[in-house]
Structure 1
Amino acid sequence: MVESRRVTLKDIAKSLGVSVNTVSRALTGKDSVGEDTRARIKAEAERLGYVPNSMARSLVLGSAMTLGLVITNPSNPFYAQLISAIEQRGRVNGYSLMLLVTEESPDGDRAAAETLLRWGVDGALVVPVRSDGEHWARLDESGVPLVCLNRDFPALDLDFVGVDYEHGAYVATRHLIDSGARSLCLLEEDLPISPVEDRTAGFRRALAESGLQPHEPVRAVPTRRHESLALPWEPADAYRLAQEIVRGGDLPDAIMVGNDYFALGVYRALTEAGLRVPGDVLVGGFGDHPFAAYLNPPLTTVRLPAADIGTTAVDVLQQRMKARDDESAPEKRHLPAELVVRASSRAGRAH
């Protein structure tokens, strides 16, 4: 068996009859190399299969050229889009991505912060788990720029890029009211995080402006709790809550849910009870997950700007990385969500 060997700058230099220093300057974009020579060197490097040694390059540049990304659950379609956008934006600027998953665990959150510090990333984008946040504060104080994603954590006093969940829920609730609903309830996640708090606030604001009261207190759906924190949202929990609402006899005109997975459970509970969507109950979702348009009837929902959040967050982080001594106030960017109206909200009960 022939032992494979990594192609080096010396190999390229020997092949072309130039110095190793010339090859290095050409491949790192230094101006002191003529364009013809640079083109020859790049072509030969590609022919030989040269791959830059990232660790050596980091030592030369004094930078890991790596961004950290900490998320809670990659099975969430929102985070899947977010990861893709962040990776692409970082790659354009020469950065690799280190992805860490916390599974909503405070211990996992702390371990992620320690890993990023140990590996010396240039900056990090973080979806924090609700905890005291001291580990993120320590990472920030160590000189690693941080940007909070999707979940704002005011106690950390960091830049934030996320969705305007409050306005998105407000617009969706107003739409249900304008479609004829006079009694509404909200099924929300049972996590003490800013998106849940903001959606609930938007729901209540729309009701208050219309002189309405919630049909009942906002119902918490105990998702991702039973078998594994790594599981995505469970429609079964929303299904059981919707069954309780149906059995209660005082059916609301509309049910708003904090994510589209809950709508799956609501649809089934209503259908099994012989109720029609939207003829008997209007339903509105949140997230515009891929299946939303293919439900029967198609689900009215709020589309989240996942890709825009990813690219914006990388840009904000890189601004902080370039000006590490900048002591200006943290930047808070809430990007708008879009209401997508479909058949599940186009007709209500007769009043």
Structure 2
Amino acid sequence: MEQAGDSGRPRRTLQSVADAVGLSVNTVSRALNDKSGVSEKTRRLIKAEAERIGYVPNVHARSLVLGLRKTIGVILTDLANPFFNDLVSEIENQAIAAGYTLLLLLSDEDPERERTAVNTALSAGVDGIIGVPVQGPTNPWSAVVNAHIPLVLVARELPGFQVDLYSTDNVAGRRMTTETVLRSGAKDIVLIEEDLKISTVAHRIEGFRSAVEAEGLRFHPDQVSMVPSRRTRRGASLWRGEDAYRVARDLLETGRTPDAFLAGNDYFALGLYAALRERRIRVPEDVLVIGWGDYPFSRFLDPPLTTLRLPAVETARRATSRLLALIDGSATAEVVEQYLAPELVHRASTNH
């Protein structure tokens, strides 16, 4: 008989795995704990079957010792992104109010670290998980679903994976920033984005293109300049202004001076400002600049940066509320997918 967790969801046991493979519980335990006395072929069979049926170790006793009962796992790609800082802070506020603690894990934009983080959360016996997927070549989040652990994704989607999602409406946000400079008369617009294969970047490029074409202008691929991805470095370090600086400098050295730049984040705008100053190109008199994120330093730039404020706090509130409802069984059965509207903050970098 399957055991049930605190929320009534079925939990797979060692006996479940043993029954599935037709071997003893002792053999299954030795295989899953990489102990001797089990052939490699049998070990692989047992581990594959355990993963298929969603078995995770029963660690309730250990969880009590560690103080991890009533715990929500939060798996982020990194904490360098101010959006994720605000997100996890509000998740913690909501979790504490509901009597939960957080287990925070980072993937560093690395698919293998992501898989490790997911397995760590499952092994810790968390009651539910809020996660930002790396969107790498594999989908370790299926192990969470197979283990019947409530899961809510934020910020990035996994197409074809039917779980709840709360994200910024990146298409609408980028369309909004593009329309702003178009209304100011800009024709030659350059979008500076990170060369990262994730849904958020793809959606922002989609919003940019749709706004340009809606104005009756032709979209050219050279209107999008890509900053080398953080995944090319060891670990997902903070976005660096010098990355965008080099991209903008190289573009300006060709003799081209766009009417407007749209930065993929406000750190990129820092580097962009430096490249423009070197060539004595004035903001906003000669070129308009809009950032993305409304980071704490943005209003202190010279000139203060027009940028997009993201709904991190509201995203966290909705995602946490949904997860808690999934945990206690009060949630509706339908998968929820919500894209929250960002807010354009007008400052001097787009004012003539």
- TM-score, normalisation: structure 2: 0.78
| Distance of aligned partners of 1:198 and 1:290 in 2 relative to their CA distance in 1, 3 Å threshold | same
Q: C-alpha distance in 2, partners of 1:58/1:230? A: 30
Other-structure match for 1:30: none
Q: How does 1:156-175 map to 2 (within 5 A)?
A: 156-175=161-180
| Distance of aligned partners of 1:244 and 1:213 in 2 relative to their CA distance in 1, 3 Å threshold | farther
Read off the aligned partner of 2:169 and give its amino acid letter.
Answer: D
Choose from 59, 79, 103 the match for 2:108: 103
- Residues 1:231 and 2:276 aligned together: no
Q: How does 1:83-232 map to 2 (within 5 A)?
A: 83-214=88-219, 216-225=222-231, 227-232=233-238
Q: CA deviation at 1:156?
A: 2.1
Contact 1:223 1:234 in 2 (8 A): no
Q: C-alpha distance in 2, partners of 1:171/1:217? A: 17
- Residues 1:319 and 2:322 aligned together: no
Read off the aligned partner of 1:301 and give its amino acid letter.
Answer: T
Residue segments in structure 1 that go unaligned for 5+ positions in a row: 1-54
Q: CA deviation at 1:298?
A: 0.5
Q: CA deviation at 1:325?
A: 9.5
Q: C-alpha distance in 1, partners of 2:226/2:206? A: 14
Other-structure match for 1:31: none
| Distance of aligned partners of 1:230 and 1:250 in 2 relative to their CA distance in 1, 3 Å threshold | closer
1:18-51 CA-partner distances (Å, limit 9, x unpaired): xxxxxxxxxxxxxxxxxxxxxxxxxxxxxxxxxx
- Residues 1:273 and 2:295 aligned together: no
Q: CA deviation at 1:133?
A: 4.2
Moved over 3 A (4+): 55-59, 225-228
Q: CA deviation at 1:229?
A: 2.0
Read off the aligned partner of 1:234 and give its amino acid letter.
Answer: R
Q: CA deviation at 1:194?
A: 1.1
* Secondary structure class of the residue paired with 1:104: coil
1:40-71 CA-partner distances (Å, limit 9, x unpaired): xxxxxxxxxxxxxxx77977xxx930000000
Q: CA deviation at 1:134?
A: 3.4
Contact 1:185 1:214 in 2 (8 A): no
1:252-305 CA-partner distances (Å, limit 9, x unpaired): 100111111100111000100111011111111100001110100011100001
Matched residue count: 289
Q: How does 1:61-80 map to 2 (within 5 A)?
A: 64-80=69-85
* Secondary structure class of the residue paired with 1:293: helix
Q: C-alpha distance in 1, partners of 2:272/2:231? A: 19
* Secondary structure class of the residue paired with 1:70: strand
* Secondary structure class of the residue paired with 2:273: helix
Q: C-alpha distance in 2, partners of 1:301/1:78? A: 14
Q: C-alpha distance in 1, partners of 2:128/2:174? A: 32
Contact 2:111 2:137 in 1 (8 A): no
Contact 1:169 1:203 in 2 (8 A): yes
Q: CA deviation at 1:155?
A: 3.0
Q: What do you get for the CA RMSD once the two structures are aligned?
A: 1.9
* Secondary structure class of the residue paired with 1:160: strand
Which deviates the most, 153-162 or 215-224? 215-224
- TM-score, normalisation: structure 1: 0.78
1:70-122 CA-partner distances (Å, limit 9, x unpaired): 00111211111111100000011001000001100001100011111111100
Q: How does 1:38-77 map to 2 (within 5 A)?
A: 64-77=69-82
Q: C-alpha distance in 1, partners of 2:305/2:223? A: 23
